[in-house]
Amino acid sequence: METKKQTINTDIMKKLVYTISILLITCGVYAQDLTDALRYSNYHISGTARSEAMGNAFGALGGDFTSLSINPAGAAVYRSGEFTITPSVGKVSIDGTYLGTKATDSKYNVGIDNLGYVTTIPTGENSESGLVSLSFGLGFNRLGSFSMNSLAEGSNAKNTLLDYFTQNANNPYTLGADLNQYYEQLAWKADLIYDNGNNAYVNDIAKGGYGQNQRKTIDRSGYINEYLLSFAANFNHKFYVGATVGIHEVYFKENANLYEYDANNTIPYFNDYNFNSYLKTTGSGFNIKVGAIYKPTENLRLGIAVHSPTFYKFSDVYNNSIQSSITYSDNVTVVSPLYTADKDGLWDYQMETPLKAVLSGAYVIGKSGLISVDYEIVDFSTAKLKNGTDGYSYIDENNTIQSAYRTVGNLHLGGEYRVNKFFSLRAGYENYPSPYKSSYLDVSNPNGKSKYSTVSGGFGFKQGNYFFDATVKRIMIGNYVKIYPDAFANEMIKNNTTQNNVIFTLGYKF
């Protein structure tokens, strides 16, 4: 085996920023790209149990705290004040199929999806015309959860992460001390890539013809919370207008491990290695929503709302480590130390999410029930990354986002049947089409047909000023991810995700 150059410590910190294609998704290489743009733009709102049970189709209904994040005019529908709190518990299970092998992992989650307070102030005694009332809302709704565990493993691979490292190390060729300390330099220290004597880096897996086993595990946690302040006005109990100022809190953490090993002992020198990657993203942002609801008849309600882009500021903290086992030509097996980058990588950047329009309609069937539909229009190709550390402009990444994403229409359907004045039954459905175009750079994209849908059902009980709502919701997701950037397209992991949540809302009207 060629001799590896002596390890040279360095505190050079480089941020890996590059244009990434649509297929390079969830790879554990930390650069801001279209994956981040989608992660923080594609909201799947959680709120009260009633809204969740009815597919979050509340843009024309109002009178529920979740509606303040959908159509702020919904706050004006309240006839009295209200306080709600919504805890939830759920389980996320992911079946990952990779190289013909299926593996499953899961994670339980407990959280608070909603905390809300609304007060309504009549403008005059027994006023029923003109400006009838003003409403104010304060609280939060959860817009997304990142919590999950995943596992994928397969044998007889035809590719390795070390190929990606050697390509980066050779373009251009640099001494080991000048390699990226979070990636290639770690592999160089662990003798996984090395100089072949001709000023080029190679790795033993590629030289041995591949055939190794691979295992990828990911542990994620985090959320997007929207803290909101809403103002709304009720005119004649027929026309409602409102506005919401939303302050977003983002937390995302991922620990991932890639394990490659020579199970059949067919690759000279190489035994195995573990590559561990860590990323934590924290951020905040704000947006403004405006909306209106109109009742042309007592039974029919029509709604429209516009959500401004959310203007985010993010900070990334990341680091990686690697450990290898190699049997040298003298039959001595050496397990390397766990090599870690000298210090955490830090990177700040900004992002603008797409504008969103929400069109809604609802029909109230006397006192026995209602049906409701919301249709959201979002152009994900307009998301933008900007103002990275050291003035990085993200021009190439934004061009990729514009070319890879498309406009979608998200559908929310809901219904409620009032059994009696104390008890109601509810059901709902949501469908989020894939934001990816069917092809990118003339290459078919399997995520062009990715899916995200939900079905839900629940009940509500009220007695006096108190009410209790309960919902069971099932989320179904299907998509493809790469195990690492250089993997072949036909070696993507096919993930089928199911999430079962139980949601409760406790409320008090005053």
- Asked if 276 and 322 count as a contact pair (C-beta separation under 8 A), the reply is yes
* Token reading at 291: 């909306």
As given in the structure block, the two tokens for residue 368 are 């026995």
**What integer best gives the mean pLDDT of the chain?**
92
Q: What contacts 331, CB < 8 A, 6 or more positions away?
A: none
In three-state secondary structure terms, 309 is coil
Give the angle subtended at the CA of 101 by the CAs of 439 and 492, to the nearest 5°: 20
Question: Tens digits of per-residue pLDDT, 104-115?
Answer: 999 999 999 999
Q: Which domains does the chain have, with CATH numbers?
A: 34-509 (2.40.160.60)
What the block records as the tokens of 142 is: 């959860």
Tell me what pLDDT residue 439 has.
87
pLDDT value for 356: 98
Q: Assess whether pLDDT exceeds 60 at residue 18.
A: no
Reference 137, options 51, 59, 62; nearest CA is 62
**pLDDT tens-digit series, residues 286-308:** 999 999 999 999 999 999 999 99
pLDDT value of residue 260: 98
Judged by average pLDDT, the poorest of 31-40, 326-335, 356-365 is: 31-40
- Lowest mean pLDDT segment, chosen from 69-83, 123-137, 271-285, 369-383: 123-137
* Percentage with pLDDT > 70 across the chain: 93
| Separation of alpha carbons 202 and 265, rounded Å | 19
Cβ proximity of 270 and 161 under 8 Å: no
| Cis peptide preceding 172, ω within 30 of 0 | yes
Per-residue confidence (pLDDT) for residue 290, from 0 to 100? 98
3-class DSSP assignment, residue 490 = helix
- Cα dihedral 458, 463, 465, 466 sign: negative
Please compute the mean of the pLDDT values over residues 22-26 and round it to a whole number: 45
**Mean pLDDT (whole number) for 150-157:** 97
pLDDT tens digits for 32-51? 888 999 999 999 999 999 99
| 201 C-beta neighbours (distance < 10 Å), count | 23
Decide if pLDDT at 325 tops 60: yes
Is the predicted pLDDT of residue 359 greater than 60, yes or no? yes
The pLDDT tens digits for 400-423 are 999 999 999 999 999 999 999 999
- What does the alpha-carbon distance between residue 10 and residue 182 come to, in Å, rounded to a whole number? 11
pLDDT per residue as tens digits for the range 46-105: 999 999 999 999 999 999 999 999 999 999 999 999 999 999 999 999 999 999 999 999
> Residue 448 CB: number of other CB atoms within 10 A?
18
Supply the pLDDT for residue 126: 66
Report yes or no: 410 and 418 within 8 Å, Cβ to Cβ.
no
pLDDT at 129: 81
Contact (CB, 8 A) for 363 and 299: yes
User: Among candidates 113, 225, 144, 221, which has minimal Cα distance to 503?
Assistant: 113
Q: How confident is the model at residue 30 (pLDDT cuts 50, 70, 90)?
A: low
Rounded Cα distance between 36 and 144, Å, is 14
| Cα Dmax for the chain | 95
Residue 56 CB-half CA count within 13 A: 27
- What distance lies between CA 420 and its chain's CA centroid? 39
pLDDT at 29: 56
- Quote the pLDDT of residue 8: 27
462/506 Cα distance (integer angstroms): 10
DSSP tag of 398:
H
CA 260 – CA 274 distance, rounded (Å): 7
Name the one residue in this structure whose structure tokens are 């306080």.
Answer: 83
- The Cα–Cα gap between 234 and 123 comes to 10
Nearest Cα neighbor of 386 from 421, 429, 348, 425 is 348
| Six-digit token string for 109 | 């989650």
Task: Give the residue with greater pLDDT, 116 vs 440.
Answer: 116
pLDDT confidence band for 6 (50 / 70 / 90): very low
For CA atoms 451, 217, 325, 165, give the dihedral sign.
positive
Sign of the alpha-carbon torsion through 162, 167, 170, 176: negative
Whether the Cβ atoms of residue 176 and residue 166 lie closer than 8 Å to each other: no
Q: What's the CA gap between 191 and 168, in Å, rounded?
A: 16
Which secondary structure element, helix H or strand E, spans residue 242, and what is its range? strand 239-261
